[in-house]
């Protein structure tokens, strides 16, 4: 059972700025601040030369002007990619940021961060370890550390072994029957799940066991309020324009 408190906000901006800007970019984080958010989520993986950078997919095709697997490119190559033009001319030239750049920005803006460890195929443990080390270094001395989460239990276990003091959350679509064992083994403080798979009864069981709950991706005010009434601590949303901080409860 977790005995750590939950310092993160009730509303978390999905992939930096939800649908308000290109995902996993500093432009997205800027939108989060503009809408009054004080917590965001992003996806972090490794470049070919082991730099931690932000990208959700295994390939660059969907969210940039480049093509092919991201795992085969160095950070110098990735830095030349336009990760914003696909969302419109206003975002053209937006870069794929490194975790170092995001950490500097978040700390300057007092923005809390949920780092989803998103390994490229075959790099789960290495990514978990390197992301944890980098997060610990970049947030050294911070009052509130970033929250590490992952769908990959091997990545999360590697992060646990590398930097056990950093808070962790296990990320799932459907909550497994052995959720309590998994959270205990990985010393997690929270479970993150698809809101559509959560029931009021499951939420009550998870909270009674002493864990925090985050649900994704919640884009309705009505649904967000319902989840909060069930004891859900945070909801991750794309609709920063609809779900406004301080107006859920």
pLDDT at residue 3 above 60?
no
Which candidate, 111, 13, 96, places its Cα nearest to that of 53? 96
How many residues are present in the chain? Answer: 249
pLDDT at residue 167 above 80?
yes
Instruction: Tell me the pLDDT band of 247, cut-offs 50, 70 and 90.
Output: confident
Is there a catalytic annotation at residue 195? no
| Distance from C-alpha of 107 to C-alpha of 33, rounded to nearest angstrom | 12
Looking at the chain, the whole-number percentage of residues with pLDDT higher than 90 is 96
Q: Give the CATH fold of the 11-44+112-237 domain.
A: TIM Barrel (3.20.20)
Reported as a single tens digit per residue, the pLDDT across 21-42 is: 999 999 999 999 999 999 999 9
First to last CA, the chain: 27
E runs forming strands in the chain: 11-13, 39-46, 52-54, 112-117, 147-150, 168-172, 190-194, 212-216, 234-237
- Residue 4 has a pLDDT of 62
Which residue of the set 14, 100, 192, 195 is catalytic? 14
Q: Which residue has the tokens 């920063």?
A: 240
| Distance from C-alpha of 202 to C-alpha of 172, rounded to nearest angstrom | 14
Tokens read off for 110: 């007092």
Reported as a single tens digit per residue, the pLDDT across 59-115 is: 999 999 999 999 999 999 999 999 999 999 999 999 999 999 999 999 999 999 999
Reported as a single tens digit per residue, the pLDDT across 212-223 is: 999 999 999 999
Reported as a single tens digit per residue, the pLDDT across 122-153 is: 999 999 999 999 999 999 999 999 999 999 99
Which candidate, 1, 61, 27, places its Cα nearest to that of 209? 1
pLDDT at residue 1 above 70?
no
Which candidate, 187, 130, 197, places its Cα nearest to that of 160? 187
Mean of all residue pLDDT scores within the chain: 96
């Amino acid at each position: 059972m977790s005995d750590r408190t939950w310092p993160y906000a009730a509303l978390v901006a999905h992939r930096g700025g939800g649908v308000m800007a290109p995902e996993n970019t500093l432009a997205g984080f800027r939108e989060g601040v503009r809408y009054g958010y004080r917590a965001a989520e992003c996806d972090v993986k490794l470049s070919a030369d082991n730099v931690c950078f932000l990208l959700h997919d295994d390939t660059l095709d969907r969210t940039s002007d480049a093509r092919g697997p991201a795992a085969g490119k160095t950070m110098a190559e990735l830095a030349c990619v336009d990760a914003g033009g696909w969302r419109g001319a206003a975002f053209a030239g937006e870069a794929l940021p490194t975790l170092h750049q995001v950490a500097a920005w978040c700390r300057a803006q007092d923005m809390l961060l949920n780092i989803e460890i998103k390994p490229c195929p075959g790099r789960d443990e290495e990514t978990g370890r390197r992301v944890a080390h980098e997060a610990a270094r970049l947030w050294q001395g911070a009052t509130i550390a970033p929250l590490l989460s992952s769908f990959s239990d091997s990545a999360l276990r590697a992060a646990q072994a590398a930097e056990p003091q950093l808070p962790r959350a296990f990320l799932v679509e459907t909550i497994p029957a052995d959720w309590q064992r998994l959270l205990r083994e990985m010393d997690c403080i929270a479970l993150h799940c698809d809101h559509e798979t959560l029931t009021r009864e499951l939420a009550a069981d998870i909270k009674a066991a002493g864990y925090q709950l985050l649900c994704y991706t919640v884009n309705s005010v009505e649904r967000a309020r319902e989840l909060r009434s069930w004891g859900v601590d945070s909801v991750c949303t794309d609709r920063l324009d609809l779900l406004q901080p301080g107006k859920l409860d």
